[in-house]
Amino acid sequence: MAAGFWNKMLNLDRRWVYLVIGAATFFPMLTVIRLPIKITPEVQSVYDRLESLPRGTIIMLPMEYSPDTMAELQPMAKAVLRHCFSRGIKVITTALQIQGVLLIEQDLRTVAAEFDKTYGEDYVFLGYKPYPDIVILNMGENFRKPFPKDYYNNNLDELPMMAGVNNYSNVDCIVNINATSGVDSWINNANGRYGAPLALGVTAVIATDYYAFLQSKQIFGLMGGLKGAAEYEKLIGRPKDIANRAMTSVSVAHIFIIIFIIIGNIAFFATRKRI
């Protein structure tokens, strides 16, 4: 009787699992219930660094995500941008992921408009160039080498913000929001070759790969996936933004996945034949 039930569980049509996970993810989005979010030290250190910068300081915020990863990284990038603009920190941005160039340009414009920021004075968008390794290495010598012109075809020397800004030594730090293993290029070249202080915002899939660099102090902070974005939103005092709202769905979906894993394991052990 019991074995029959567990056999049924093992042979359950996978579409029921999809349906339950879909419902567990969707319905919490319609509610106002918010689960608490704990701030981790690795996200706090990114916030603290930017919070400590005086007005007018320039940082680099390379944003490398595309429509397939925007759900995780767009809230993170917007939160960091909002933090910078609210504190008068100037931002140089690149988009070294080809499919995200237009998306990132739009995000940059949207957030800049919220804070009445002027292009060329408060922020600069350099755009895309192929071969990230070479581009990042060249920027270490001079931004003008890979980017003689910005995304809007302006000469960099014509932009007031870029006066006297030549390379990584003229920016306080780099916060790289990245969906791919292109992160390695930043660690390797910007930090490894030029010693630029680096923090990462990455998708959850690759986040565990980069904790080792946190421990070795090659990066000073790490934001992983939607949780990292939610933490940053909370730190900048925007707990009603998208990542925070989504975390309830994430938690509920995780509970159901854990339940499925437990059921799957019980069913496996209950039905396996003893040798």
Partner 1 sequence: MEQISLGTLIWMTVAAFLTLSIFSFLYRDNPFYRFAEHLIVGISAGYWIAILYHTSLTDLWIEPLVDSVSAFGAAGGSIPAKIGILLANLTPGVIGCLMFTRFFKSKAWISRWPIAYYLGISAGVALPLYIQSFVIRQVAANMFNPVIIYNTIVSDLSTLYYYGNSMMGIWTGIGDIIILLGCVCGLAYFYFSAEHTGVLGAAAKIGIWTLMIGFGATFGYTVMARISLLIGRFNFLIDWVSALGNYFNL
State the number of CA atoms in the 13 A half-sphere of 7 facing the CB.
Answer: 7
Stretch that binds partner 1, among 25-33, 84-92, 156-164, 165-173 (CB under 8 A): 25-33
Is 99 near partner 1 (CB under 8 A)? yes
CB of residue 160 vs partner 1: minimum separation in angstroms?
Answer: 21
Quote the CA–CA distance of 235 and 241 in Å, as a whole number: 12
Is 20 near partner 1 (CB under 8 A)? no
Binds partner 1 (CB under 8 A): choice among 26, 34, 51, 265 = 26
Q: What is the CA radius of gyration of the chain?
A: 22
Helix (H, G, I), strand (E, B) or coil at 224: strand
CA 258 to chain centre: 25
Closer of 58 and 247 to partner 1 (Cβ): 247
Quote the CA–CA distance of 175 and 264 in Å, as a whole number: 41
Is 225 near partner 1 (CB under 8 A)? yes
Give which of 256, 259, 257, 247 is closest to 29, Cα–Cα. 247
**Which residues are within 8 A (CB) of 272 and not within 5 positions of it... i.e. 6 or more apart?**
none
Binds partner 1 (CB under 8 A): choice among 93, 176, 189, 244 = 189
- Residues lying near partner 1 in the complex (CB under 8 A): 15, 18, 21-22, 25-26, 29, 68-72, 98-99, 101, 127-130, 133-134, 137, 148-149, 151, 184, 187-189, 191-193, 203-205, 207-209, 212, 215-218, 224-227, 242, 246, 249-250, 253-254, 257
